[in-house]
Structure 1
Amino acid sequence: MTPKPAPTPADPDSWNAYLAEGNAKQARKRVAADVLLRDAAGRVLLVNPTYKPGWDLPGGMAEANEPPEETVVRELWEELGLDVVVHGLLIVDWVAPHDPWDDQIAFIFDGGTIDVEEKLTPHDEELSEARFIDLTETGALLRDRMRQRLAEAVRALREGQTLYLHDGQAFSRQS
C-alpha cells in the first residue's frame, strides 16, 4: 500500500486541516508579562497580590492569543487604572515546571518613568496594595525568582540590552 502524500498549499482545505492537527498536538506555554515602571526618584512600582505570597512587579498572565506587550498594558489599566507605554523588552525568562505548573515564558518590559501624584489604589480584588519602592528595599518583599528577575531587568535596562534567563538566572551556554 502506498502512503498517502502529505497535503500541500495547493489544496487549501486539506492543508489547513493538516496544519490545525499539528497545532493541536504542539505544547502550549503559559505567558506572563510584567513591567519595570519607575518614578522620578528611581523607585520601582511593586504590587502586592492577594492570591499568592510576596510582592510582584505589575503585570499578569496573557490571555489566549494576546501579545505579551498588550498584556502589560491591559493588566495595568485593569488593576491600577494606569495607561502605560511599553518602551522595549528587557527580559525573557524560561521558567521550568514547578509544583503543579508546567513551564512558562515570562517577559519584563520597560515601562519608563511615570509621574503619579496621588497614591496608587488597586482597582480590583487581585491586588491589596501598589507602591513605588526603593530598589534597595525590594529584596525583602519579593520571592526569590522575582527578586532575581528584577535584578536582571535592572541590569538589562542599565546595559541597554534584552537578557534571556532560565528560572531567573542569566543563561550561559555550557561548553
Structure 2
Amino acid sequence: MVDPTGPEAWNAYLAEGNAKQARKRVAADVLLHDGQGRILLVDPTYKPDWDVPGGMAEANEPPRAAARREVKEELGLDIEPGALLCVDWVAPHGPWDDTLVFVFDGGVLSDEQQAGLRLGDGELRAYQWCRPDEAATLLRPYVRRRIAAALDGLRDGSTGHYLEDGR
C-alpha cells in the first residue's frame, strides 16, 4: 500500500497538477544602454516592429538565463543581466496565448562591447541605438509602455515593477 503522505503520493499529486494547470509562456528581454543615454533596439525578421534584445525562454529555463542566452545568440554579446526592472503580463492576442515578459537591466556597454556587436542567429535584420523618445516611435504600444516603465525604474532606483500590457 502507498503511504498517502509519502513521496510517491506527493509526486503523483504534483504530476496531476502539472498535467492540468495552465502553463505560461515566458520571455526575457535586456535593456542595454550606451554612455549617451540611448538604448539598443533590434529589428526582428519575424515581426513588423522593433524590440529590445531578448526572446522566449526554453522549457524550464530561468528568465535571467534566457535573457543572457538570447542576447548572446542575437548580438554576440555575453553579459550577466542585472536587476529585474519589470515583469509584464501580455494578454492573449490573435492565436498567441498570454506571456510573462521579464525585463532585465543590461547596463551601460563599453565602446569595446558596442564595437563587438554582431547579428548572430539570423533572427535580426538590424540593431540601432535610440534615445527613448526615438525608441517610442519604433516600438509597439505595449512594448513602448513596458520600456518606459523599465526606464523610470532605472531613473528612480525602483525595480521589479509588475505591469499588465505595459501598464
TM-score between the two structures when normalised by the length of structure 2:
0.92
CA distance in structure 1 between the partners assigned to 2:41 and 2:54 by the alignment: 10
| Local SS of the residue matching 1:139 | helix
Q: Deviations over 1:9-37 (max 9, x none)?
A: x2x22321221111111100000110111
Which segment drifts farther, 26-35 or 108-117? Answer: 108-117
> Partners of 1:86 and 1:71 in 2: how far apart?
10
Moved over 3 A (4+): none
CA distance in 1, matches of 2:46, 2:132: 24
Q: Do residues 140 (structure 1) and 107 (structure 2) align? A: no
Hey, what's the Cα distance between the residues in 2 that align with 1:6 and 1:105?
Answer: 38
State the alpha-carbon separation in 2 of the partners of residues 95 and 117 from structure 1.
Answer: 30
Tell me if structure 2 keeps the 8 A contact 1:31–1:68: yes
Alpha-carbon distance in structure 2 between the residues aligned to 1:95 and 1:165: 9
Please name the residue that 1:44 is paired with: 39
Counterpart AA for 2:38:
R
Aligned equivalents of 1:71, 1:18: Cα separation in 2: 29
CA distance in 2, matches of 1:135, 1:93: 19
SS in 1 for 2:74: helix
Tell me the residue number matched to 1:173. Answer: none
Residues 99-156 of structure 1: per-residue CA shift (max 9 Å, x gap): 1111111110011101135273211211001121121211111111111111111011
Query: Does structure 2 conserve the Cα–Cα contact (< 8 Å) formed by 1:119 and 1:131?
Result: no
Which is higher, the Rg of structure 1 or of structure 2? 1
Alignment-mate amino acid for residue 99 of structure 1? G
Q: Specify the alignment match of 1:151 in structure 2.
A: 148
Instruction: Determine what percentage of the aligned residue pairs are the same residue.
Output: 58
1:95-106 matched pairs, under 5 angstroms: 95-106=90-101
Gaps of 5+ in 1: 170-175
> Per residue, is there more helix in 1 or in 2?
2
In the superposition, relative to structure 1, how do residues 54 and 119 fare at CA in structure 2: closer, same or farther (>3 Å)?
farther
Secondary structure in 1 matching 2:42: strand
Structure 2 CA distance for partners of 1:118 and 1:108, relative to 1, 3 Å: same
CA 6–131 in structure 1, closer or farther in 2 if over 3 Å, else same: farther
Q: What are the equivalent positions in structure 2 for 1:89-168 lying under 5 Å apart?
A: 89-115=84-110, 116-118=113-115, 120-161=117-158, 162-168=160-166
> What are the ranges of 5 or more consecutive residues in structure 2 without an aligned counterpart?
none
CA RMSD of aligned residues (A): 1.6
Give the partner amino acid of 1:97.
P
1:43-73 superposed Cα distances (whole Å, 9 cap, x missing partner): 1011000000110010000000001000110
Structure 1 residues 119, 54: closer, same or farther in 2, change over 3 A? farther
Q: Distance in 2 between matches of 1:19 and 1:141?
A: 44
